[in-house]
Structure 1
């Protein structure tokens, strides 16, 4: 199975505690995902829910061609105000391991995402990654950067 690794970095002009509060709420993930993906958290969490090790989060998502899919991830590691990891348990990928790292810097927080993933279906999966999936993941993270900038800009007004 061919695996791929992508890294994304972003500086946030907010305190570490505020960053933690936002990124550890499962419901906020929908705010950072392009609307065209139809991303909906289906787990019974509310706005006060915070991630913890062992937490299972389920979603509906439309990743490609309008096909709705179920997706399930587990929060496998959490170190408060430093990092957390989500891993796919069921969904469109053969492997999904997403690390979220937070480091306090002057004037805010440096956020780094490390994503390791694999596509099923061997050669067809590798072609799909080259033609579609890698570009789509990058577009999702580009959208997320824009959404974060807008959301945290609103917080500062």
Structure 2
């Protein structure tokens, strides 16, 4: 089993509390997800995220085929971090840490995504394509956050 890691950092000119206020509302997720991912929330969402929260949605990651995805918010310490983990979906494993660190310039937001692809050797063949796709999602998110929160990229 091969585990992959995607890491991205973005400086947000906000306090950790201000950054948290955007991310704690699960309804904001579609606003920072690329439209070509076909992301649609399929279940009811609470007003604010909490540990144990389950989120159900569909995505169309490749070839326009819709896939059900279920994640759980497994850990949370306001306003410093939360973790979402796949319970069912396109990956064999998905573990996404969202870390908010206060700096003199604002909040350094770090995303650490550990994932394992399905299909054994076939998944490893597709790994470069998947890595580009995952990176593209987070590159889009970087720009969308700047647009949504009103600061330069």
Matched with 1:62 is: 60
Q: Structure 1, residues 77-102: CA drift from partner, whole Å, max 9, x if none?
A: 00011100000000000000000000
1:72 to 47, 70, 81: 70
1:141 to 135, 138, 153: 138
Aligned equivalents of 2:10, 2:121: Cα separation in 1: 33
Q: Structure 1, residues 37-90: CA drift from partner, whole Å, max 9, x if none?
A: 1101112125xx111111100011111110011100000000011100000000
| Contact 2:69–2:86 (8 Å) recurs in 1 | yes
The alignment partner of 1:54 has SS state of coil
Deviation at 1:15, TM superposition (A): 2.3
Deviation at 1:26, TM superposition (A): 1.2
4+ aligned runs moved over 4 Å, structure 1: none
The alignment partner of 2:150 has SS state of helix
- TM-score, with length taken from structure 2: 0.95
CA RMSD of aligned residues (A): 1.4
The alignment partner of 1:123 has SS state of helix
The alignment partner of 1:92 has SS state of coil
Q: Which runs of 5+ in 2 are unaligned?
A: none
Aligned length: 152
- TM-score, with length taken from structure 1: 0.92
